[in-house]
Amino acid sequence: MKDYLFLKKQDKDIYEAVMGEEKREAEGLELIPSENYVSRAVREANGSVLTNKYSEGYPGKRYYGGQEFTDEVENIAIERAKKLFSCKFANVQPLSGAPANVAMYFALLEPGDTVLGMDLSHGGHLTHGHPVTSISKVFRFVRYKMKDTSTGEIDYDELRKTAKKEKPKMMLAGFSAYSRELDYKKIASIAREVGAYSVADMAHIAGLIAGKAVKNPFDYGFDVITTTTHKTLRGPRGGMILTRADKEIAKKIDKAVFPGLQGGPHMNNIAAKAVCFAEALTPAFRKYAKQILKNAKAMEGVFLKKGVRMLGGGTSNHLILLDVYGSLGITGAEAETVLDEVGMTLNKNVIADDTRSPMDPSGIRFGTPAITTRGFKESECKRVAELMLLTLENKDNAKKKKEIHSEIKRMCKKFPVPDKFV
Ligand SMILES: *Cc1c(COP(=O)(O)O)cnc(C)c1O
């Protein structure tokens, strides 16, 4: 590989691991819904000399000199982010999704304050106050759930009652394992009623929002959005915090990111975010976002036909949660392992009110962002869903699994990982 000339000469061990990963990504089906393939341009920006520079502070207000180019990079990233998500303020410095959330909590809350967020087994994320996180020792997290796991609908009446009783300072909408859309209007209005901030964590669906394939919480009055940039948005690993309109909130967020939580921003990473935002502003990206949804629907069709239970009864976004234990008698961990053997990478996942343990839960979670980047359309995605079920049905049949693996390798060859999108 031309790209890695110096690495190859200097450090064989790491070079070989990188090459191994490149091959793995090229030859297998990436179905983990939080993963994607970035463009070469994004990788070049991320691997640039900007990694050498300290830029503590914000554009025009830095602690060190030599910022003529870093200021330009950060300002461009901010302007593009604002345009992409229709908001007035953007902080592009968070190192990833989890630190973005930590900074956001400290910006808007006092220790001991209550946050009302989605139940973790119903789709919420670790960073929404799971007991294993440090943040759960600082703030008080209260939960809301789905009313009916066969439709995925949230119990909004219950949510309103809980909000009135618990008096949260923040209402949190966002998920990493939920396949339906939330009613942002209802959540924002309940937040207003009880005097809480409304915050959406759109880490998973940022690309779908940017591509206008799903609703933008800002259109329904949400105050703040936190996100990652490396999932459906198809950028470098990183985070971001957006503020719809309120300058005071935006100021608090800037202070909470730096100096509240972080030191120097990773300017190479911010440059790569800017490149990804420009890609996401193109018509081609809108098409991509819509295709992600169509492809998930095509997979849904297969599971509906075969009567395999999907949490929420199906999908309105990029991901599907299958109750493989309930429907097929195979545990999530076992399903993850067998599917990996035939070249399909996805993850085991707890399902709503799971009776099994998180290390071997009842479900698996997968999605279409990465295979859509490869160019898969509905017919290929339908076949992928069929192959998943075929693999699970033949989990002890080595010959059958070999055939399936060959078919998957052929599909991957036919749809190579692209270098560019614009
Ligand atoms: C992925 C995710 C995060 C965490 O992002 P990291 O970059 O892994 O720290 C936070 N919130 C939600 C909803 C996520 O899906």
**Quick one: CATH architecture of 44-280?**
3-Layer(aba) Sandwich (3.40)
Where residue 386 falls among pLDDT bands split at 50, 70, 90?
very high
Q: Is 269 in the pocket of ligand 1 (CB under 6 A)?
A: no
For ligand 1, the distance from its centroid to the CA atom of residue 11, given in whole angstroms, is: 32
Residue 211 burial class via C-beta count within 10 angstroms: exposed 0-12, middle 13-18, buried 19 and up? buried
Radius of gyration for the chain, computed over Cα atoms and rounded to the nearest angstrom: 22
- Ligand 1 atom at shortest distance from the alpha carbon of 239: 7
Mean pLDDT (whole number) for 84-112: 98
Of 327, 277, 324, 285, which is closest to residue 307 (Cα–Cα)?
327
How many Å apart are CA 411 and CA 1, to the nearest integer?
23
CB atoms within 10 A of CB 152: 24
Q: Is 229 in the pocket of ligand 1 (CB under 6 A)?
A: no
Q: Just give the CATH number of 286-414.
A: 3.90.1150.10
Q: Is 143 in the pocket of ligand 1 (CB under 6 A)?
A: no
| Residue to mutate, 105, 176, 237, ligand 1, most ligand atoms under 8 Å from C-beta | 176
Cβ-based neighbours of 120, under 8 Å, separated by 6 or more: 126, 128, 130, 143, 350
Matching residue, tokens 């991509």: 288
**So which residues are the catalytic ones?**
54, 56, 201, 228, 231, 237
Q: Give Cα separations from 318 to 99, 153, 205, 293, 413 (angstroms).
A: 24, 17, 8, 5, 23
Give the closest residue (by CA) to ligand 1 atom 6: 97
For ligand 1, the distance from its centroid to the CA atom of residue 407, given in whole angstroms, is: 33
Phi, psi (deg, nearest 5) at residue 238: 175, 175
Give the closest residue (by CA) to ligand 1 atom 4: 97
| Residue to mutate, 127, 182, 232, 273, ligand 1, most ligand atoms under 8 Å from C-beta | 127
Mean pLDDT (whole number) for 32-42: 97
Where residue 121 falls among pLDDT bands split at 50, 70, 90?
confident
Q: Specify the higher pLDDT residue, 3 or 151.
A: 151
Q: Which structure tokens are listed for 335? A: 């399903």
Q: Is 199 in the pocket of ligand 1 (CB under 6 A)?
A: no
- Ligand 1 atom at shortest distance from the alpha carbon of 204: 15
For ligand 1, the distance from its centroid to the CA atom of residue 98, given in whole angstroms, is: 6
Q: Is 254 in the pocket of ligand 1 (CB under 6 A)?
A: no
Give the closest residue (by CA) to ligand 1 atom 3: 97
Where residue 279 falls among pLDDT bands split at 50, 70, 90?
very high
* Average pLDDT score over the chain: 96
Instruction: Tell me how far the alpha carbon of residue 390 is from its chain's centroid.
Output: 28
Give the closest residue (by CA) to ligand 1 atom 5: 97
| Residue to mutate, 35, 93, 115, 125, ligand 1, most ligand atoms under 8 Å from C-beta | 125
Mean pLDDT (whole number) for 121-129: 89
Q: Which residues pair with 170 in a beta bridge?
A: 115, 197
Stretch(es) of the chain classified as CATH 3.40.640.10:
44-280
Mean pLDDT (whole number) for 79-88: 98
Q: Is 168 in the pocket of ligand 1 (CB under 6 A)?
A: no
Q: Is 204 in the pocket of ligand 1 (CB under 6 A)?
A: yes
Contact 190, 163 (CB under 8 A): yes
For ligand 1, the distance from its centroid to the CA atom of residue 126, given in whole angstroms, is: 8
pLDDT of residue 2: 62
Q: Is 348 in the pocket of ligand 1 (CB under 6 A)?
A: no
The amino acid present at 39, given as its one-letter code, is S
Stretch(es) of the chain classified as CATH 3.90.1150.10:
286-414
Contact 241, 82 (CB under 8 A): no
pLDDT of residue 120: 85
211-244 tens-digit pLDDT: 999 999 999 999 999 999 999 999 999 999 999 9
